[in-house]
A and B are shown apart, each in its own frame.
Chain A
Amino acid sequence: MSAVAAGWEPVIGLEIHVQLATLTKMFCGCRLSFGDPPNTHTCPVCLAHPGVLPVVNREAVRLATLIGLALGCEVAPHSIFHRKNYFYPDLPKAYQISQYDEPLCLGGRFRALTEDGEIEVRITRVHLEEDAAKLLHLGGDGRRAGAARSAVDFNRGGTPLVEIVTEPDLRSAADAVAFLKQLKQTLEHLGVSDTNMEEGSLRADANISVRPVGSATLGTKAELKNMNSFRFLERGIEAEIRRQVALLEAGERVVQETLHYDPESGEIHPLRSKEEAHDYRYFPEPDLVPLSPDRAWVAGIRAGLPELPVERRDRWVRDLGLSFEDAEVLSETPALARYFEQTAALADPKAAANWIRGDLRALLRERGEEPWESGVSPAALASLLALLGSERIPTRVAKDVLAQMVATGADPERIVEEQGLAQIGGGDELAAIVERIVADHPAQAQQLREGKDRVMGFFVGQAMKATGGRADPQAVGALVRKCVMDGAG
């Protein structure tokens, strides 16, 4: 809430566009691509040549349904496509085939962890549509403003898009970012999209309004577009909240409009000019027939849903005793989560969590490695934790051993063996050493008999010196007392 002036409550809803990871476009057989030369993946259909017709990509419908189910939505028994009419060079038909009042999925919810605890965000709808093409801005600084000329590359045009719309349940830029990060995590986990914000495969628009704290009515909202990174999303929303609060505190009103956040300048300005005065004139797409997903088909997709990050997080907290924070960090990526689960299966989960989050990642960071790709297998890490747990090595030694494991990929048992790092607890070996020390220092032994416990430190120090630090201090203490007292008898 940092950016908000006291007395005002931001109300934020998100519209997230997700490019689906299908092989082909939404309505034609052209391959999806990124970074290829312009207009190398087009056909009469995605160029909107006269007389062409769209045909729905079955896999896009499946992936959209998967997303809807993962977000707890109902899959509509009957949904249709509409035409959304507006002129723009990146929209070849001058209408986008989208879904309007009868979308594929309705009414879900998504739980996200924020700095002030867990929030639940209601999902209004999940629908299918097609992406626009890409405008190449030539001259100027490559952006539309000031570009000398523009040209259209239709490679991206017609890419399957899922639009996820939330209720206005978010209350700060930080919440919005946390929500989107965890949604992104879930989409990755489902394998439905690359979710690469820089490349535009995941895009978020925000509907933002502010209202006096305690007020139940919604203020006038503005729609903020084009925030292609988490950082820009946070900054953009904060900037817009500041703008609206300033307006209202100056006694002015917020006008409902679409705004564009310019990351470079951090400025916000209206997106639409006169040429985009918009009235979308939605009407049902006569070239397509209704979708009416077969119950068994939906059930099949539901059955195939993997355990979701949020569910796994809950399980880790509930069954493995992890803190929410541990759980959140360790499910950052599917690979890291897998690494943790494999380790935790063989060792104390709590310890595994601490060591992976702490020393292991710290050590690997210098090498630019990730745990799952490092020389430290979950099994090796687990046996190191076992050595530690059975007190055969102290924590300080374990850290050194882990460093060697990272460096050489060697097995912790072998390192401890070969370098004789195992702790010398009790046993005749240590007893013999202690007896010799006591024998060599009769004066200090006498002081101990007289109750001057301070000298115990001296004996432990000697024992450590004699064992190269491998002695267990407690054990040394006990042995010293024993043979000092014996010596008295």
Chain B
Amino acid sequence: MDPRTFTAEAALAALHGGQVSASEVVAAYLERAADDRWGSFLALDGERALARAREIDAAAASGYRLPLGGLPIAIKDVLSTRDLVTTCGSRILEGFRPLYTATCVARLEAAGAVIIGKTNMDEFAMGSSTENSAYQVTRNPWDEERVPGGSSGGSAAAVAACQAPWSLGSDTGGSIRQPAALCGIVGMKPTYGAVSRYGLVAFASSLDQVGPFARTVRDTALLLSHIVGHDPMDSTSLHWPEPIRVPDAERLDGLRVGVVEELMGEGIEPGVRDAVERALVLVEELGGRVVPVSLPNAEHGLATYYLIAPAECSANLARFDGIRYGPRHEGAEDLLDHYERTRGERFGTEVKRRIMLGTFALSSGYHDAYYGTAQRVRTLIVRDFENTFAEVDVVASPTSPTVAFPLGERLADPYSMYLADVCTIPVSLAGLPALSIPCGLSEGLPVGLQLAGPAFSENRLLDTAHALERAIAFDPLPPGLA
């Protein structure tokens, strides 16, 4: 089989229909995954993947079929996988073999998904280009001199390059939606609490969510349907009200779509704006109504996020001290020296920058003015969305203000990198569900359309995205791969 010609849905049909075996499917994807051109994977787990595939084939032969039938999946290296090295793209977890598997990954394995490898990422999910990985660069399958976006760049590139039919990423301020946009695929961040965070190595606990990448909206929905739901190991996980449906909507009659004025103006590349506006025309052709809406505090999202997220990360990353796990600085003079050397030498620049920023924002004398203020502005942003969703069902905006940018372009100026998430961060601060679908090309590079809704509106978002996807008819296969 040729992975380039298969959606997850099609591959699954072939598996359940017996036209192809799990072993063949896994082998085919492993072969593509072994091609290191894009640097998507930090580690492949071929042997175990093939062994598991054979088990699943044997079970199928005796009539026992698992819902995901042995279909491969790529997992972002921020998710804990028992005995499978998990580094979060950091030297401070070099060679670390977890003792347990993240709940969402365990659910997928139980459903018959086969993990083929762990994907590259910005160190501890801090970045928007995957260039902050301590191990390797990941290249955008649409243009190998450009970034795939981040922080889940490896998971996005792997799917765009057909090295996996789908993958898991994590999204704190846009780390699924933005790379999905830059790689021309679908990526979704569910409602905060929809997917268990148990086993997701924490960056900013009040914002982190796990979510799916796929080449179609239906595949995205199918993958999501297997990972949502309450987990007793996560106190913030929700009891999910209704199953996630695989969408088949073709019309958008009566749907009210709000276009966020603040996210369509200055700072948005013309080519991006054009592609988004073309998609909005299609919304109306499909029977939906497009109305301008305002999120007056959205412009403060970035500042708010870059105080809250670093503050939480400064505590979340404090456990990496080279005592219980992970490498350490050898020959330290004393305990203090041990801590400072181990952490100073093993954390990358961006991670140190954010730990410093967050520690500063929480330190006595600055706590209220920085962290405290940010928490209050977060309330204003939450209220903006509440008001908006009193008038519209879905809000639309670009996912990223630009298309994929050249490798290295933004490394010199941290804040220019932070701007890549200006459209995705407000939604994250409000804990709302959002996805990005490709809505066309600009200068030959994919443009992402972000659709966001109120909490628990995943099914409506997926229906909307599916109808639009059909109308847009974007071909997710990068030219070089055809």
Interface residues in chain A, defined as those with a beta carbon under 8 Å from any beta carbon in chain B: 44, 47-56, 83, 85, 87, 89, 92-95, 152, 274-275, 279, 281-283, 286-289
Contacts and interface: CB of A to CB of B under 8 A. Distances in A.
A281 B359 contact: yes
9 contacts: A49-B325, A50-B202, A51-B202, A87-B318, A93-B315, A94-B315, A152-B323, A152-B324, A287-B202
Nearest to B338: A89
Interface in B177-211: 197-202, 204-206
B140 interface: no
Contacts of A152: 323-324
Nearest to B87: A50
B315 A53 contact: no
Interface string B77-102: 00110000010100001001011101
B333 to A, nearest CB: 11
Contacts of A50: 80, 86, 88, 93, 96, 98, 201-202, 319-320
Interface stretch (B5-13, B228-236, B441-449): B228-236
Contacts of B96: 50
A279 B336 contact: no
Interface in B83-130: 86, 88, 93, 96, 98-100, 102
B99 A44 contact: yes
Contacts of B235: 53-56, 287-289
Contacts of A52: 100, 198-199
In the A-B complex, list the 6 residue pairs whose CB atoms are closest, starting with the nearest.
A94-B318, A281-B362, A286-B206, A286-B205, A275-B336, A50-B201
Given A83-B315, A287-B205, A287-B236, A279 B321 contact: no
Given A44-B100, A286-B206, A94 B321 contact: yes
A87 B339 contact: yes
Contacts of B202: 50-51, 287
Contact of A49 (B99, B311, B323, B363): B99
B451 to A, nearest CB: 26
Contacts of A87: 318, 321, 339
B334 A275 contact: yes
Contacts of B311: 283
A3 B214 CA distance: 76
A51 B75 CA distance: 15
A53 B234 contact: yes
B300 interface: no
Contacts of A95: 315, 318
B62 interface: no
A48 B325 CA distance: 10
B213 interface: no
A289 B315 CA distance: 18
Contacts of A44: 98-100
A144 B319 CA distance: 22
B367 interface: yes
A50 B93 CA distance: 9
Contacts of B362: 85, 281-283
A281 B205 contact: no
Contact of B315 (A56, A89, A92, A283): A283
A93 B233 contact: no
Given A50-B201, A85-B314, A282-B362, 9 more contacts: A51-B98, A51-B198, A52-B100, A52-B198, A53-B235, A56-B235, A83-B315, A95-B315, A281-B363
Nearest to B90: A50
B232 A55 contact: yes
A99 to B, nearest CB: 15
B172 to A, nearest CB: 12
Given A83-B315, A283-B371, A53 B233 contact: yes
A93 B325 CA distance: 12
Interface in B204-243: 204-206, 232-236
B19 interface: no
Given A92-B324, A275-B334, A286-B205, A53 B198 contact: yes
Contacts of B324: 47-49, 92, 152
Contacts of B312: 283, 286
A289 B192 CA distance: 13
